Amino acid sequence: MLHLEPTPHGGDAAPGCVDFSTGVSPLPPPEAVLESFRAADVRRYPHPTGLPLRERVAELHGLPPDGVVVGNGSVELIWALARAFAGPGRSAVVLTPAFAEYAQAVRASGATVESLAAEGPPFEWNLEALLAMLRRHTPSLLFVCRPSNPCLAVFPMEAVRAAAEASPGTLVVVDEAYQPLFEGVPPMSPGGNVVVLRSLTKVFALPGLRLGYLLGEPRLLRAVQASLPPWNVSAPALAAGRVALDCLGQVDAVRAEVARLRGAQQALLAEAGARVDASGGTFLLCRVPEARAFASAAVQAGVRVRDCTSLGLPHHIRLGVRLEADHPLLRAAWRRVRELLE
Ligand SMILES: Cc1ncc(COP(=O)(O)O)c(C=O)c1O
């Protein structure tokens, strides 16, 4: 555990640099959510397992409250899943390229990680190869990032179900952190050995709030809850989460506006000579000669992009979608980077 290097992430642009490195919605968070956050009573401990929010989420998804665990960001729940179901002598399979914390959390638990990489672009996983891996390793966990960050591919719902049925001893974790922001990607329902992770930080632009939840069978989620400390979600986050759920009616409008901005950003990149290999939700995945060099040159040109080398894509950078006011800067930066690298 001590030898684990921290995983790189976006979202840490230096002052003066415009941050295109995350997939958080570029639209402002709902004002009512911010108000509820500010009004929360922090003089008392919150409920140890966030029951008032779990009840509200459960109602929304037609589950009992024990079928919901809330986390300090969905990332906390990824780590709790690894603590509960992985561990020494066990293994997990991850569909890659994907969010690096699945592998990190599994390794930290003492278990081993097997990856099945998508072929592409366009990126796609081979279901037969996955089924063979599940037979070979009988992993305790399978992580499916749906849609996947950074390759933006969507592992079909039927394929997830086929994998879950073929390997009943494997807990299949479907991470739908970005699902609300993608068109044509219906959410998966939890059940049996499939659990579903949701984040409230992406679609409502609240990454600093830290709030996500896990849906699944209570008998499985009991172990996840037991792997978390009490009061893991603060009173302001619980209060804001309840109001955010009341704002779910705004998600269609957010998704449509993000799609419009993404289209505009993609057109501008094409004009600047960029090759966009995949796009969806709040992301554009661009092919570049060498991602590491490109990302450093981009900082010099005033923008922070996500170098995907650590995610297994050394020739790709990932861009978040931003408001139109930032688009001219991106076009200028793209041209500047090409000059710097020539
Ligand atoms: C695919 C995916 N899942 C989960 C997370 C964690 O998000 P949060 O902890 O803010 O809910 C991220 C963050 O970047 C992500 O990319």
Ligand 1 contact, 149 CB (< 6 A):
yes
Are the beta carbons of 264 and 327 closer than 8 angstroms?
yes
Ligand 1 contact, 99 CB (< 6 A):
yes
Query: What's the 335 CA to ligand 1 centre distance in angstroms?
Result: 31
- pLDDT of amino acid 2: 61
Query: What's the 336 CA to ligand 1 centre distance in angstroms?
Result: 31
Atom of ligand 1 nearest to the CA of 212: 11
Q: How do residues 175-234 score in pLDDT, each as one tens digit?
A: 999 999 999 999 999 999 999 999 999 999 999 999 999 999 999 999 999 999 999 999
- pLDDT of amino acid 1: 57
- pLDDT of amino acid 342: 85
Structure-block tokens of residue 277: 């290999």
E runs forming strands in 219-338: 275-280, 283-287, 303-304, 306-307, 316-320
- pLDDT of amino acid 94: 98
Domains observed in the chain: 18-27+251-341 (3.90.1150.10), 31-246 (3.40.640.10)
∠ Cα 273 254 234 (to 5°): 115
Question: Which residues of the chain fall short of a pLDDT of 50?
Answer: none
Enumerate residues 6+ apart whose C-beta is below 8 A from 180. Answer: 187, 202, 203, 251, 254, 255
- pLDDT of amino acid 69: 99
Query: What's the 68 CA to ligand 1 centre distance in angstroms?
Result: 18
- pLDDT of amino acid 16: 84
Measuring CA to CA, which residue among 213, 211, 216 is closest to residue 201? Answer: 211
Ligand 1 contact, 144 CB (< 6 A):
no
Atom of ligand 1 nearest to the CA of 148: 1
- pLDDT of amino acid 6: 86
Residue 194 parent element (H or E): strand 194-199
